Amino acid sequence: MLVGTPIGNLGDLSPRAAEVLGRADVVYCEDTRHSRKLFSHLGLTGVDLRSLHEHNEESRTEEVLLALSAGRTVAVISDAGMPGISDPGGRLVAALVQRDPSIPISVVPGPSAGVAALVVSGLATDRFLFEGFLPRSGKERRMRLSALAVREETTVIFESPLRVAATLRDLLEVCGGSRQLAVVREITKIHEEVWRGDVDGALQWVGDRPLRGEVVLVVSGLPEGSGSPVVDDATLLAELAGRLSAGERTRGVVEEVAGLFGVPRRRVYDLALVWREQSGTGQRGVMREQ
């Protein structure tokens, strides 16, 4: 059983979740010390708690299989929210399904920080993209942010409070300062806070003050009538490849391609870096970004 647990307020645990956890023979959890607080709140003692985190999730598969084969009831939880959503659990389920599709796997739905932040953001909820945690740096982060900038759906991003300001600056570069977003902090907890506005305003609001607690960024999709239709990376790369391979300098190519397709210059610049890496031309002619 995959069991959703509170993301802050312990009162959000459903009666069914409490019942399942109370009768489970073994509960796999992200951090046993953290989970004992939840079980103490429920008045449950003597529960067989075992760790299941990013470093041992794969190795735990055989153990879970043995427990299930022996007829034991196994529950899987994370520290907060739904297991498998930016938390351990997903790889375990995939491994069990691959090993034996007949294994009964069920879920007790519960709180989710991403969905909770989305519905209080005031942004469109009919179509949304769950991005989770962005890569901290490097080419993959640049590519993901560039792709996010042209999505029409609302995007939900999990972020460390220490990196919110840096991510907002990155969003400013790829989306522009007028893109709407919400910064949702400590949802369901005592100090819950929701800030709504645009990227420029969010940067001013955050300033240099350190944020605390869990943070979710909800970013609006590409506004209607904002310019050219969405252009995929393959189209931009093809245009860049033709120009760069002909010896044109990166600075001029980036400016021209961004203007031609009506996309952010930063997105085109990132793709130019990717092309140079893939083509083995190194950093020759690549401009410096300020």
Give the per-residue pLDDT at 265: 83
pTM of the complete model: 0.78
Domain ranges across the chain: 2-108, 113-219, 233-279
Closest of 189, 32, 205, 4 to residue 111, by C-alpha: 4
* Domains 2-108 and 113-219 equal at CATH topology level: no
pLDDT of residue 226: 62
Say whether pLDDT at 290 is over 60: no
pLDDT for residue 263 is more than 50: yes
pLDDT of residue 150 exceeding 90, the answer is no
Q: Give the model's pLDDT for residue 130.
A: 96
Architecture of domain 2-108: 3-Layer(aba) Sandwich (3.40)
Residue 284 pLDDT > 70: no
pLDDT at 230 over 70: no
Quick one: pLDDT at residue 137? 82
pLDDT at residue 23 is higher than 60: yes
* CATH class of the 113-219 domain in this structure: alpha beta
Rounded (10°) angle between helices 61-69 and 90-99: 60
- Tally of CB atoms within 10 A around 233: 18
- In the sheet that holds 26-29, the strands lie side by side as 49-51, 26-29, 74-76, 2-3, 107-108
| H or E element at residue 201 | helix 199-206
- For the sheet with 154-159, list strands across it: 128-133, 154-159, 215-219, 180-185, 193-198
